[in-house]
Amino acid sequence: MTDIALTETVQGYLAIPASGSGPVVVVIQEWWGMNDQIRSTADRFAAAGFTAFAPDFYNGVVTREPDEAAKLMMGLEMPRVAQIVADAVAALLARPEASSSVAGVTGYCMGGGLALLAPTVSDAIVATSAYYPATPWADYQPAWAEYATKSAQIHPSEGDGGPTAPHIVAAADAISGAGGTVTVFDYPGTQHAFANDVRPEVYDEPATDLAFARTLELFGATLR
């Protein structure tokens, strides 16, 4: 478990399973930055047998202030983000710690929105699991056709509108319309960021454990 420069342009946190190798999963941060909570999430995937990497989109900047987080998120340039994700996957799959020829992506809040887009930017990304995805990039036009034969899970919170929230329905329709497989789950009583265990005001352990088990099932079935 270490911070690492995966390539000249991609840095982040790499978590390797005890076996020394595992299927590749990219973990995408919330809008706060690549903080200890995201590192611990990558560690959880490693403990489950995956080689997990959390890219640092903010180059070391971490905040707890919503206004600053919003500015950092909106400052992201989607072509650069897409390139970071694609480059991270290519670099990971070439490493000896990778036991799969394809990769999965998961993310939370901002990272959930980016995770939904990830299969559109790399042929090697075949599965994604998006937690309460935020989708603030209205001008970005994903290549949804790249989802053909790929798989997605969406884990919305009830506080964000649940499975029937317009942005969730739109994403699910785009994925299925492209020939992908998408499952949208329901987590009654949950609030946004329900999987963030350092925020006791919203953390929901049963929902988090259920969503994580579903994510592991997806990645276990698709990452070969």
Domain boundaries, the chain: 2-222
DSSP 51-92: EEEEE-TTTT-----HHHHHHHHHT--HHHHHHHHHHHHHHH
Mention every residue, 6+ apart, whose C-beta is less than 8 A from residue 2. 13, 14
Burial 151-172 (b: 16+ CB within 10 A, else e): bbbbbbbbbbebbebebbeebb
| pLDDT given for residue 142 in this prediction | 94
What pLDDT score does 168 carry?
A: 97
CATH code of 2-222, in short, is: 3.40.50.1820
- Mean pLDDT within 185-201: 98
Q: Residue 222: helix, strand or coil by DSSP?
A: helix
Q: What is the mean pLDDT of residues 200-210?
A: 98
Kindly report, residue by residue over 100-113, the tens digit of the pLDDT: 999 999 999 999 99
CA distance 10 to 118: 16
* Count of residues making up the chain: 224
Instruction: Indicate whether this model's pTM tops 0.95.
Output: yes
pLDDT for 136: 85
- Taking only the tens place, the pLDDT of each residue in 29-42 is 999 999 999 999 99
